[in-house]
Amino acid sequence: MLHIVNKSPLERKSLDACLRIAAPGTILLIEDAIYAATRGTEVEARVKAALQRFKICALLPDLEARAVADRVIEGVTTVDYGGFVDLVAEHRNCQSWL
């Protein structure tokens, strides 16, 4: 299953809820959630640990807009909107953790 998260993990608990509940699958970080994909934040360890259970992707246009595309954690895959579409198509269902 594809899990789409759009909230900054530094402000809201959407990503925590997703990591707690979601069965292993793919997580796509979009909008303000892309900060979760960056090095040096207080949630970095949690995200790195989650890479054991999930494929984690982050939307590149959102990373670039927020000037953090050069800080992506190793193991996180960046995708464009076309890649976003592919992820939705590849997975049987999706949940938006808004």
Partner 1 sequence: MNFGILVNEGPYQHQAADSAYLFCKAALAKGHQIHRVFFYHDGVNNSTRLTEPPQDDRNIVTRWSKLAQDHGVDLVVCVAAALRRGIRDDNLAPGFRISGLGQLVESGIQADRLVVFGD
Partner 2 sequence: MSEEAGSIKKFMFVNRTAPYGTVYALESLEVVLISAAFEQDVSLVFIEDGVYQLKKGQQTKGIETKNFSPTYRALEGYDVEKLYVERESLTARGLSEDDLLVDVTVLAAEDLGKLMDEQDVVLSF
Site residues (CB under 8 A) for partner 1? Answer: 4, 6, 30-32, 61, 80-82, 84-86, 88-89, 93-94, 96, 98
**Distance between CA 73 and CA 4 in Å, rounded?**
18
Tell me if residue 30 falls in helix, strand or coil: coil
Q: Report the SS3 class of residue 62.
A: helix
From the list partner 1, partner 2, none, pick the one residue 30 interacts with, judged by a Cβ distance below 5 to 8 Å according to partner type.
Answer: partner 1
By CB under 8 A, residue 52 contacts partner 2 = no
CB-CB contact of 14 with 33 (8 Å): yes
Position among 20, 45, 52, 74 found at the interface with partner 2 (CB under 8 A)? 20
Exactly one of 17, 49, 85, 88 binds partner 2 (CB under 8 A); that residue is: 17
Q: Which two tokens stand for residue 2?
A: 């594809």
Q: Tell me, by CB under 8 A, how many residues bind partner 2.
A: 15
